[in-house]
């Protein structure tokens, strides 16, 4: 069975836009787990524009399923992860100025660096995953880093699927088969949503986990807003 890890970055974005503590990030983390999610994902960035570093600490006792912290392994991030010791750390090659993750690792040119970082996390007992594209040579090089898993970067698939191109899943299937043969676990994430997730799951063998944030939170607004509007109307009639 493929596990669902809910990325709650967007909840933090909404909270930060107004100040205060609404919506309550910790309560949302508790709720998504109560509703059945098998994990919680956060992606703190250096400018703390959504998830704050303190949030990562505050969430530690709240996440009773799997706790996944994503990010670029700069020293501040490494110190955070090694201190908290989440279930999994997902390494993402983000620049400081990106709005959202937009590329996987070049595991060939950065192999030595990744080996050192991964060894440090694994020594601390933290499962490791590398955010990566579907290039088979990069998958092979990822296995040489010592990582436990890869996370397939799925934006291209999602864009093509929305345009009617179901063949766009084929490189992901091939990457997953090779990764499994190399002994790697397979995660996936970025722009997966209610429209494409079932098809993707059906075509990716041994898919261990998907991490979904932006789409899930956006869909929750659309699918829940009718109920909330009617709850306000009901109260105003009293």
The catalytic residue positions are 43, 70, 190
How many CB atoms lie under 10 A from the CB of residue 35? Answer: 8
Instruction: Indicate the length of the chain as a whole number.
Output: 238
Sort 14 into a burial class: Cβ within 10 Å, 0-12 / 13-18 / 19+.
Answer: middle
Contact 216, 5 (CB under 8 A): no
- Please name every residue paired with 92 in a beta bridge, in sequence order, or none if there are none: none
Long-range pairs, 12-16, Cβ under 8 A, ≥24: 12/42, 12/50, 12/51, 12/52, 12/55, 13/49, 13/50, 16/49, 16/50
Q: Kindly state the DSSP code that residue 206 receives in the 8-state scheme.
A: T
Q: Kindly state the DSSP code that residue 91 receives in the 8-state scheme.
A: E
Q: Rounded CA gap, 165 and 31, in Å?
A: 35
Q: Kindly state the DSSP code that residue 104 receives in the 8-state scheme.
A: -
Reduced DSSP (H G I as helix, E B as strand, rest coil) percent helix, strand, coil of the chain, to 5: 45, 15, 35
Contact 50, 90 (CB under 8 A): no
Sort 181 into a burial class: Cβ within 10 Å, 0-12 / 13-18 / 19+.
Answer: exposed
């Amino acid at each position: 069975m493929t596990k669902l890890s809910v990325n709650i970055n967007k909840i933090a974005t909404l909270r930060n836009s107004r100040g205060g503590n609404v919506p309550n990030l910790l309560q949302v983390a508790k709720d998504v787990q109560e509703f059945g999610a098998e994990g919680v994902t956060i992606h703190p960035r250096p400018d703390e524009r959504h998830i704050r570093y303190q949030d990562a600490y505050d969430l530690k006792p709240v996440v009773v399923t799997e706790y996944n912290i994503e990010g670029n392994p700069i020293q501040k991030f490494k110190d955070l992860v090694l201190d908290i010791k989440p279930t999994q750390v997902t390494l993402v090659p983000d620049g400081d100025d990106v709005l959202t993750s937009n590329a996987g690792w070049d595991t060939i040119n950065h192999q030595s660096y990744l080996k050192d970082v991964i060894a440090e996390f694994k020594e601390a007992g933290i499962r490791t995953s590398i955010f990566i594209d579907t290039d088979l040579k990069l998958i092979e090089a990822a296995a040489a880093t010592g990582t436990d898993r890869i996370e397939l970067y799925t934006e291209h698939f999602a864009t093509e699927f929305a345009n009617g191109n179901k063949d766009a899943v084929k490189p992901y299937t091939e990457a997953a088969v090779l990764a499994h043969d190399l002994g790697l676990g397979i995660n996936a994430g970025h722009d997966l949503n209610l429209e494409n997730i079932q098809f993707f799951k059906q075509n990716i063998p041994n898919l261990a986990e998907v991490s979904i944030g932006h789409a899930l939170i956006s869909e929750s607004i659309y699918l829940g807003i009718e109920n909330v509007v009617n709850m306000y109307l009901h109260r105003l009639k009293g």
